[in-house]
Amino acid sequence: MAVVSTPQGPAKSVNLVGFVVMTVLALWKLEEPMPGLTASHGASLGEAAAVCLESQHHQAGVIMQLERRADTSIEVHWRSLPPNAYRCHTGDRATEDGACGIAILLAWELTGQVVLFRSERRRAATTGSVPPTILDTTD
């Protein structure tokens, strides 16, 4: 496995034939604005992820295996948290925000894709029908 240093954060490991790809996620990179994500909201998502990981007794540098890509692991890093972060990010909202933060950063690192806009929350589960606004009505 080769290690490549980047000026923005920790070193990234790259895949050599037959080895596991290790992607390093630095949660503070969520502070970099994207077209549909402000720096402050990104920072909040990263902080929520760190709170959730620490509340499960993980330490910075924890390694996780991706389920869908057996050859890829991620190593997650975060900065130390202020004491009030645990009171700010609580319950299901912290879990959702933290998961979103990690997913956004993972998509960015693995595919180069960034957030363009925040989708609206649906009130009820869909049954697989196509919303009328996108039906093709031309015959």
Which tens digit of pLDDT belongs to each residue from 82-97?
999 999 999 999 999 9
Query: Is the pLDDT score of 138 beyond 60?
Result: no
Query: Mean pLDDT in the chain?
Result: 79
More confident residue, 18 or 82: 82
Note the pLDDT of residue 42. 96
Note the pLDDT of residue 18. 53
Residues 61-90: what's their mean pLDDT?
A: 88
Distance in angstroms (rounded) separating the CA atoms of residues 72 and 107: 13
Note the pLDDT of residue 22. 85
pTM (2 d.p.): 0.71
Note the pLDDT of residue 66. 82
* CA distances, 65 to each of 68, 104, 136 (Å): 9, 17, 41
Tens of pLDDT, residues 107-132 = 998 889 999 988 877 665 544 544 44
* CA distances, 41 to each of 30, 78, 91, 100, 101 (Å): 8, 16, 18, 11, 10
